[in-house]
Structure formats: C-alpha cells, structure tokens
Structure 1
C-alpha cells in the first residue's frame, strides 16, 4: 500500500491546487533559464549569420560588436589577397529608427555587399538583395512583410526577403541593406548642417569606411595564421570566429548573463523554501495519523518515504505544469526564450534535488511526533 498515493487521493483537490500554484513558480524558473539561453544565442546569431572564419577590425579594438571599429573600405581587397582566404566582404553595423505606416521601429541595420560575404544564409521567404540601392531583408520580429516599404533616413526601402531570429545582443531585430546604402545612412547629415560645415571649411569624413572585413578561408587554411598576418598591419586587428564568439559571450553580454544567473539562483532558493513550507504544513496536519503509524509499529523509513514521495510529487507535477505553461506563452515574450530538452531535464533534476532537501523540515517534524498523541481525543 502506497501511503503517499492514498493521502493525495484523500486531499486531491488541495494537492492539485497546490501543484498549479507551484507550477507558476516553476514556469518562472524555466523562463529565466530560457531567457538566459536566448540572450546567449541572440548575441551570437549576427556573428554567425555570414558563416565566416576571420574578422578584421580596427587595431586595438574589440569591434565591431563590443566597441566601435572603423577601417578603410579598401581593406577588403588587401584581406582577399592574403594566403588562405577564399572570399572576403565588408560589413557595417548600426542602430537606427525606421518608419513604417507612421510608427517608428528600432532596428539593427547591417550593411553588406550583395555579391560578397556578409548577408544572411537562411532566408525563410523572398529573395536575396540584388540591387545596390533601396532593397532590404528584414527579421520577422520587425513585423514587416514582403513588399513593405520602410523609411530609413531620407530613403524608402522595399522588403524583398525575410529571416527569423536575427537580433542583436540588445534584442533589436536586424535588417540587411546594401553596403552603399548603409554607408550613406551612417554618414548622412542634414543639408543645413552640410552648408555649415562647408562654410567653416571642415572636411567631411570619407564615406568609404566599414566596421569590419570578414573572410572565409579555404578548407586547409589555418585561421590563426591568417589573423597573425592581419595583425602585422599596424592599423588592423584580426580575430577568428571562435575568438569573436568568445568575446561576445564574455564581454558584451557577460553582465546580463550574471544577472540572469543570479535571478535563477534566487528563484530556486524561493522554490525550495515554498516546497519546504508546503510539505511542513501538510505534515503538521497529519501528525496524528503519523503518530498512529508509529504506534502500530511502522518503521521510520516508511514515514520518511511518505513525506519524500509527496514532496517529489509536488515538485515533478509542478515542473510538468510549469513546462506546459511556458510552452504556451514563450512566443509572447519580448526576448527569445530558448529551452532545449537537455536544459529542461537538468532543471527537472535540480528541482527533484531541491524537493528532497526541502522535505527535510517535514521529515524532522514527523520523526519527532509522539506515538502517544494517537490515543488522544
């Protein structure tokens, strides 16, 4: 006879209600893990999109994502001539507001040469950019559709392609435009300001500059040797794809990762306290029944197993309900929530361990119960 099962059946409504309340807490814990994973993946998506091996940026900078980087546009030709380089392309990155149907949208604008590296490789609809001006590939989170026209600066761009989950580390959805359009937008200033500069004799900065040059290598080429060759030029610095991703995770989003990790730890501690209090109150309510078990000679391990089973049942049921709730609402979060099966299983194991530890308070109260109280009125 399973005593935990019979006790749950006897108080089924209260048990289910308690599990539903606990599942909301579990859903928040799982959501924090999903947001944590999503933040890391979002930060790496833009860097992985062009599928390259080497990044060339301004010397003594960690650009183009961690800090500002600006190098001459002619750098691409120099990088393309390096031994081991199969193809190279120039890219720019900037944030700007785009206007569509009278509303403003914050966008992360990526400029690249349509015939070279830098564009997305995973279109879900439409086609790549084929013209040098006024065409755009947009992420689905922008809310844009094929054929929509968006104003950037003083020009309008037509959406010709769509991608999914291309956002920067801050969560801004990305759009891809041609390098020439991106450079124009980056250096574009009001005509009145241009006249003032000319009157003062100030020389405008050349528009032929980019934030980075990316390169794809031949299969037998060593990325470390290529970056070492780049660093011989005093005004340039080179990073492999692995180094760029490490920089993004350890520098750009490190503080965000720590904060999310701290929230997860706090929520797990809160979950442990809540489960401990629930189990303790359930134990206190049936102390007379536990005393009766002791009086008829039930061993302590039977009582310990009764309480531990109920604690695990609460935790596991709450975990399943919480996982179901999160699966229903995760697409409505403003940031991407990524919860992989291994992560969910690991979290389930942690919750089971928390339940076992949290049951200690109820077990202590049960073992201290006096069998003589079973004979009371």
Structure 2
C-alpha cells in the first residue's frame, strides 16, 4: 500500500490546488528563462545577418550597436582595398516610428547596398529590392504585407519582400532600405531646419555618411590581422565578428540577464517556500495517523518516504503543467520566447532538489511526533 497516494486521495482538492499554483510559478520561471534566451537570440540575429567577418566603425567608438558611430561613406572603398578583404559593404542603422493603418509602428531601419555584404540572405516571401529608391523589405513581425506602402520620414516605401526572424535587440522588427534611402531618412534635414542652418551660416552636412562598414575576408585570411591594419593605417575602429557579438551581449543584454536571473531566483525561492508550507500543513493534519504508524511499529523511513514522495509528486506535476502551459502560450508573448529542452530539464532537476529540501520541514515535524499521541482524545 502506498501511503503517499492514499493521503493524496484523502486531500485531493488541496493537493491539486497546490500543484496548480506551483505550475503557474514554475511556468513564469520557465518563461523568464525563455525570454532571456529569446533576447540573446534576437540581439545576435541582427549582428549575424550580414554574414560579416569584420566590422569597421568610427575610431574610438564601439558602434554601431553599443554606441553611436558615423564614418564617411567612401570608407567602404578604403576597407575593400585592404589586403585580405574579399568584399565590403556600408550599412546604416536607426530606430523610427511610423503611423500606419491607425497604429504606430516602431521599426529598426537597416540601410544596405544591394549586391554587397549586409544584404539579407534569405527572403520568406516576395523579391529583393531592385530599384534604388522607395522599396523596402520588412520582417513578418512588423505585420506588413507585400504591396503595402509605409511612410517613413517624407517618403513612402513599398514592401516588396518579407524576411523572417530579423529583429533588433529591443525586439523591434527590422526593415531594410537601400543605403541611399536610409541615408536620406537618417541624415537629411527637414526644409525648415535646413533653412535655419543656412541662415546661421552653417554648411549642411553631406548625406554620404554611414554607421558601419562590414567586410568579408578571403578564405584563410584571419580577420584579426585586417582589424589591426584598419586601425593603424586608416585610423578607424575595427571589430571582428566574435568581438562584435561579445560586445553586444555585454553592453546590451547584460543588465537584462541580471534582472531576469534575480527574478528567477526569487520565484524559485517562493516555490520552495510554498511547497514547504503545504507539506508542513499536510503533515500537521495527519499527526495522529503518523503517531498510529509509529505505535504499530512502522519505521521512520516509511514516514519520511510518505512526505518526500508527496513533495516530489507536487514538483513533477507542477513542472509538467507549467511547461505545457508555456508551450501553449509562448506564441502570444510580446517578446520572443526561445524554449530549449535542456533549460526545461535543468529546471526540472532544480525543482526536484527544491522539493526534497522543502520536505525537510514536514519530515522534521513527523519525526518528532510522539507515538502516545495516537492514544489521546
């Protein structure tokens, strides 16, 4: 006879309510882990999209994602002439908001040169940009359809192609424009502002400015050597692809990682406290039953197994239900949830350890029960 199972049947309502609350807590923990994984994946998606080996930015900066970077557009030609460089392309990056169909779209605009590094590798639908002006590629997350027109700045752009899963580190969907269009959008002054600058005697800045140049190396040529050459002879900042990814995670994602880690730890501690209190309450309710077991000669290990088995059952049911809940709801989160099997398994192991530790309070109470209590009134 399994005493833990019989006791659960006797207190089925309380046990199921406890498992439900625990499953919600563990579901939130798993969603926090998934949000962090999604945040890292989204941050790296944009920096990996160009397929670059080297990022050239303004000297003294760590741009274009960690801080601002502006360099002349003809820097691309200088980088392309460096020994070991197979191809180079100029890029611009900026966040914009646009009113569309009665709502506000927040987009991350990437300007690139068609046919050069930086162009999206694959399209989920539609065609690449073929005209030099007024065409755009949009990620599916923007909710735009092929053929729609979106007004950015003073111009209207037609969506000719859709990408899949290219978003900025902040979660904003990425749209791609030609480099000339993006330069106009980012650097061209509105007519009133341009007239004001002319009245002050200031010369309007040229539009041939970019935020970064990406380069691909020839086979067998290490990017580190070209990085040093660009910094020494061209007076530019340069980062290898690995350095850019590490810098992006450290500067953009690190604080979010700490916050999510803190909340995850708090929720796991709360889960352990909930399990401990429920087991303690269940143990108090069956003090007489435990005393009777001791009186008839039941060993302590039988009583300990009763409590530990209930704790493990709570943990397994709560973890299973919480995981199922998040798998069903993950597509409805505003940020991407990336759920990895190893994360769910590690959480399951952690929950089992917490359950065994939390059962200690109930076990301590059960072992202190006097068999004579069974003879009381």
TM-score w.r.t. length of structure 1: 0.97
Query: Which position in structure 1 is the counterpart of 2:23?
Result: 23
CA distance in 1, matches of 2:316, 2:82: 57
1:50-87 residue CA offsets vs partner (Å, 9 max, x unmatched):
11111110111010000000111111111112222121
CA distance in 1, matches of 2:34, 2:359: 27
Matches within 5 A, 1:251-330: 251-330=251-330
Query: Which position in structure 2 is the counterpart of 1:240?
Result: 240
Number of equivalent positions: 377
CA distance in 1, matches of 2:231, 2:330: 44
Query: Which position in structure 1 is the counterpart of 2:186?
Result: 186
CA distance in 1, matches of 2:295, 2:31: 46
Indicate yes or no: 2:173 matched with 1:168: no
CA distance in 1, matches of 2:275, 2:342: 24
1:182-219 residue CA offsets vs partner (Å, 9 max, x unmatched):
00001122212212222222111111111000011123
1:253-295 residue CA offsets vs partner (Å, 9 max, x unmatched):
2111111111111111111111111111111111111111111
Indicate yes or no: 2:49 matched with 1:46: no
TM-score w.r.t. length of structure 2: 0.97
1:19-65 residue CA offsets vs partner (Å, 9 max, x unmatched):
11211111111111111111111111110111111111011101000
Tell me by how many angstroms 1:319 deviates: 0.6
CA contact (8 A) 1:59 1:234 kept: no
- Is there any run of 5+ residues in structure 2 with no aligned partner, and where? none
Indicate yes or no: 2:98 matched with 1:83: no
Indicate yes or no: 2:370 matched with 1:370: yes
Query: Which position in structure 1 is the counterpart of 2:61?
Result: 61
CA distance in 2, matches of 1:119, 1:11: 62
CA RMSD for the aligned pairs? Answer: 1.3
CA contact (8 A) 2:188 2:207 kept: no
Tell me by how many angstroms 1:234 deviates: 5.4
Query: Which position in structure 2 is the counterpart of 1:103?
Result: 103
1:138-192 residue CA offsets vs partner (Å, 9 max, x unmatched):
1122111111111000111111111222221222111111110000001122212
Secondary structure at the residue paired with 1:109?
A: strand
Query: Which position in structure 2 is the counterpart of 1:144?
Result: 144
CA contact (8 A) 2:315 2:352 kept: yes
CA distance in 2, matches of 1:102, 1:33: 34
Secondary structure at the residue paired with 1:136?
A: strand
Tell me by how many angstroms 1:15 deviates: 2.0
Would you identify which runs of 4 or more consecutive aligned residues in structure 1 move more than 3 Å?
A: none
